[in-house]
Amino acid sequence: MRCESAMRLIQLNAFNTLKQKISAGYSEKWLRRMLSTVGSNLLETRELTSSMKLEIERKWRNNLGDYRFDPTSDKPKRYVLAMFPYPSGNLHMGHVRVYTISDAMARFYRLNGANVLHPMGWDAFGLPAENAAMQRKIPADKWTKQNIEQMREQLEMLQFSFDWEREFATCDPEYYRWTQKLFLMLYEDGLAYQKEAQVNWDPVDETVLADEQVDDNGCSWRSGAKVEKKVLRQWFVKTTRFAKALYDGLADPTLEDWKDIIKLQKHWIGDCDGYNFELKVKGQKTSIPIWTKHPEHLKEALFVAIHPSNLLNSNKVNEGKLDIVIENPILGVNLPVIVTEKVNYPEGNDCYIGVVSVEEDRQLATHYQIPLNSQSKVESEDLRKNILAQASQLNLGGYPVSSKLRDWLISRQRFWGTPIPIIHCQSCGPVPVPDANLPVKLPLDSVGIPLSQNDTWLKTSCPKCHSPDATRETDTMDTFVDSSWYFLRFLDPKNQSELVDPTLSRRLMPVDLYVGGKEHAVLHMYYARFMNHYLHSKGLVSSPEPFKRLLVQGMVMGRSYRLKGSGKYLPAAEVEVIDEKKNKAIEKATGAPVVALWEKMSKSKLNGVDPLEVLKEHGCDTLRMILLGDVAPTSHRNWSEATFPGILNWQKRIWMTMHDYRLLRSAIEPAQTPPDTEEFLQQDRKLWDARNYFSAGATFNYKFSHQLSVGISKMQGLTNAIRRSAPEVVAFSAQYERAIAAQIIMLAPMAPHFASELWEQFRALPNRLNSSSEEIQWDLGVFEQNWPVIDEEYPLDLTFKVNGFECCILKIPTKDLNQLTHQQSLDLAFGQDAVLSYIGQRKVRHTDFVLYPGCDAILSITLEQLSKEDKEQLKNQTGEVKGKSSKKDKKKKKKQKEVIEQ
């Protein structure tokens, strides 16, 4: 009965709507025929259901196009890269969000005619796999491969358009062979070295941590254990050698959307306002780092002071002179060593060089009966350059760096990592493994046995003297080494002769869009930038910066519930929410107060949501759009079913629109022509305006701002505009047809299956109205279409801002705006009363012009600060009545323009 009532209501509404159109020239026969068609078929497919969406996805699963990058294509390249995952075995919502973002952008670039590289691989080494394998008493590689297969299957269920032919895992010997080669390159260039150092020891994971992997509370970044201090001989990479280049590189004009990441990187690197020198301890194999703002101090040095905590203070004295000396080749004399806390150590340093020109240093030298040499303070740029050149020749350092930055400690005392390709010989010392013997493979037959205890693997012969008593290096590399260059291997994953073909890397780098979490903004980004700068210095890549544009996505947050007293987490089923907005809740069983929070999803907080469960209920496309909707990719996404209806209803409206469109178009009689009425023409014009307006908005948010949630809002606006059309417009308007086509194409990057089905229905429509236009490729699928182009005569915005204030907007035809220059925009600005009255008598400090072709343009004018007199004058000017410009006004504007141009 309910269905029959609904049918009658729909037929009545449709009849009343169509009845009003009789006066426009339609025949009663045609109207009734159309009504009959609508009434008889409407309820069969007009309502989009979850089961229908799942069926659509099954239909299109293997028919969404070829995603492989074509190295032979002359199309413009776009390298879209999402940070590759650790293969834990199960996807979480964070994974789904980051790959949905990168996939939407990759599909968008393809629709814009680009040859897109969108690869996927696995950051597969590390402690979790090793610990899990030990617990299960299976080899770590077996555990890792199982997880990779499981996660790949899940990723394929979500239909991400990855080029799977480029897939690799960092634990593949053919990958870590080149990680080892990279280490040897660094070693040969003096950038990888081994020394004894006080290090951070994680007592739970039983391995060394870099300073970067210890949080502000002194705890391990992974295990959370309180870090201990140990003295061990460790491997380091001299990242400080590139500190100044890495700092200055953050000002590279090619970098886009780095924003807060630049601040984080600069803070980590620090101001490179001094120089680092490595001075040897006489009679020992160790050296001591000396940082100073004044390289010339090496010429007037008296002593080296060290803090009592320094490793050279082996007897742990609190104050005194040691029986060791430091070699100073620049001065030509050895320097005594004093243990003291009475000097101003540079930030982050426990070494200090005392000099003649500092009174306190002379007093300390006198106290310890250190002779005051005759050298006096000399400030000369030539002397400084000479000393730095000497230091470089003597391999003592002398490169600019901040006092706090440290070299990268890469040694890890665990099994599941890239073996360091060094052989230790009693006669020859550390010897690099020859390239022909790479990779140095892990012994996969052992479970949980440290490399240092695996005699079969450990013992080897020296490549240099062929002694049979040599041993392999038992430390493995930090997993950050594996991920510091993976973006290059994706370019050339099957290359057997070199890390990457330089010709290919020069053509395809940098990465055009890099998508990942902000938690990697310091460590991973710093190491990756260092490695790319290093390889650039070797001529292997064309640009020092590896990532042109960043899209740093926020986390997916789940609702967690904690008992107010104990802090114990409760599952949602055991909680009753009293006030959703105020986060008030109680435990159902006891009535105890519960604190409701939005926190990062995790098993321990009982607030995780399995994406596969959402996938089963709503389908892949809906899940993707839910993750992209409501909030920008850079913001945290609170996962709540309360946000679902917006996307679900939008999908339903699009489906209804296409359904009704098909029925109305099918009912057109062959001889029927578009009505020649003012109302029809007005609606046709409104659709032209809506298609251009919303297409420009969606394009801007895809291409320039990456605010994909706003892009969805723009597309929803187009849907609403389309659905307001009267039946005769739906049936006869060529602009309606163009608007529908634009709607489907712009939806395709986010909902590929749904858009493919809609496009198939669209192509099947009879009585095409734009059949002769090249805009719609009627014989091709949706992913072979061209992105909607804004009509040349459509007026776009040229916005004028003065000191950040938006004071004027001009409407300019698209064809003219796309060709607009900075100077032309200035000329237009100076012709606007609103701009000139705001500027007044102030001088222009600078101007900035940004053009977003096919979207809009912005001219920003920055003025010098106003004096009190100018402020008063501006008040008077802004109070003037606006109207037609008199000769006096024109002279005034001319004078103002002359002032501005000065």
Beta pairing partners, 169:
122
The H or E element containing residue 598 is strand 593-600
Most confident of 219-228, 606-615, 793-802: 793-802
711-736 mean pLDDT: 94
Residue-wise pLDDT for 102-135, tens only, equals: 999 999 999 999 999 999 999 999 988 888 888 8
Query: How high is the pLDDT of residue 131?
Result: 87
Q: Are 558 and 605 in contact (CB under 8 A)?
A: yes
- Among 420-434, 441-455, 463-477, 737-751, which is the least confidently predicted range? 441-455
Q: Domains of the chain by range and CATH?
A: 77-177+481-553 (3.40.50.620), 271-401 (3.90.740.10), 421-449+457-474 (no CATH), 556-600 (no CATH), 643-784 (1.10.730.10), 795-869 (3.10.20.590)
Strands (E), 390-457: 397-401, 408-409, 411-412, 422-425, 429-432
The predicted model scores a pTM of: 0.88
- Kindly list the distances between the CA atom of residue 795 and the CA atoms of 607, 685, 740, 815, 857, in Å, as whole numbers in the listed order: 48, 13, 21, 9, 12
Phi first, then psi: what are they for 280, rounded to 5°?
-75, 145
Query: How high is the pLDDT of residue 305?
Result: 96
* Cα 351 from Cα 85, distance rounded (Å): 41
Count of beta carbons in the 10 Å neighbourhood of residue 882:
9
Q: Are 514 and 81 in contact (CB under 8 A)?
A: yes
3 state SS of 320: strand
* Cα 331 from Cα 391, distance rounded (Å): 11
Q: How confident is the model at residue 602 (pLDDT cuts 50, 70, 90)?
A: confident
748-754 mean pLDDT: 97
Query: How high is the pLDDT of residue 899?
Result: 36
137-143 contacts at long range (C-beta below 8 A, 24 or more positions apart): 137/447, 137/448, 138/447, 139/444, 139/445, 139/446, 139/447, 140/415, 140/416, 140/444, 140/447, 141/171, 141/442, 141/444
Can you say how many angstroms the Cα of residue 532 is from the centroid of all Cα atoms in its chain? 17
* Cα 753 from Cα 739, distance rounded (Å): 20
Handedness of CA 704, 709, 710, 711 (dihedral sign): positive
Residue-wise pLDDT for 360-390, tens only, equals: 999 999 999 998 875 656 677 889 999 999 9
Q: Are 807 and 840 in contact (CB under 8 A)?
A: no
What is the 3-class SS of 698-765, one letter each residue?
A: HHHHHHCCCCHHHHHHHHHHHHHHHHCCCHHHHHHCHHHHHHHHHHHHHHCCCCHHHHHHHHHHHHCC
Beta pairing partners, 195:
234
Residue-wise pLDDT for 428-467, tens only, equals: 999 999 999 999 999 987 777 889 999 999 999 999 999 9
- Among 19-28, 182-191, 794-803, 838-847, which is the least confidently predicted range? 19-28
Query: How high is the pLDDT of residue 880?
Result: 46
- Specify the amino acid at residue 704: F
pLDDT for residue 762 is more than 80: yes
Query: How high is the pLDDT of residue 193?
Result: 95
Can you say how many angstroms the Cα of residue 473 is from the centroid of all Cα atoms in its chain? 35
Query: How high is the pLDDT of residue 363?
Result: 93
* Cα 342 from Cα 433, distance rounded (Å): 46
875 versus 763: the higher-pLDDT residue is 763
Query: How high is the pLDDT of residue 73?
Result: 92
- Kindly list the distances between the CA atom of residue 377 and the CA atoms of 177, 296, 335, 356, 360, in Å, as whole numbers in the listed order: 52, 8, 17, 7, 14
- Among 324-328, 340-344, 638-642, 851-855, which is the least confidently predicted range? 638-642
**How is residue 828 written in tokens?**
């237009």
Phi first, then psi: what are they for 712, rounded to 5°?
-65, -40
Percent of the chain with pLDDT over 70: 90
pLDDT for residue 671 is more than 70: no
73-93 mean pLDDT: 94
Bridge-based pairing state of the strands 795-802 and 805-813? antiparallel
* Cα 448 from Cα 415, distance rounded (Å): 7
Phi first, then psi: what are they for 291, rounded to 5°?
-110, 135
3 state SS of 792: coil
* Cα 329 from Cα 783, distance rounded (Å): 67
Residue-wise pLDDT for 251-295, tens only, equals: 999 999 898 899 999 999 999 999 999 999 998 888 899 999 999
* Cα 271 from Cα 2, distance rounded (Å): 73
Place of tokens 């013992």: 459
Query: How high is the pLDDT of residue 35?
Result: 45
Residue-wise pLDDT for 802-825, tens only, equals: 998 898 999 999 999 999 999 999
Can you say how many angstroms the Cα of residue 125 is from the centroid of all Cα atoms in its chain? 22
Q: How confident is the model at residue 895 (pLDDT cuts 50, 70, 90)?
A: very low
pLDDT for residue 784 is more than 60: yes
Strands (E), 803-854: 805-813, 844-852
Q: How confident is the model at residue 871 (pLDDT cuts 50, 70, 90)?
A: low
pLDDT for residue 24 is more than 70: no
- Specify the amino acid at residue 228: E
pLDDT for residue 37 is more than 70: no
* Cα 291 from Cα 329, distance rounded (Å): 16
Place of tokens 């960043």: 550
Orientation angle between helical segments 678-703 and 708-723, nearest 10 degrees? 170
- Kindly list the distances between the CA atom of residue 768 and the CA atoms of 296, 738, 787, in Å, as whole numbers in the listed order: 81, 11, 20
Q: How confident is the model at residue 20 (pLDDT cuts 50, 70, 90)?
A: very low
* Cα 207 from Cα 412, distance rounded (Å): 6
Q: How confident is the model at residue 7 (pLDDT cuts 50, 70, 90)?
A: very low
The conformational region for residue 827 under phi > 0 = left, psi -120 to 50 = alpha, else beta, is alpha
* Cα 432 from Cα 894, distance rounded (Å): 74
* Cα 841 from Cα 260, distance rounded (Å): 36
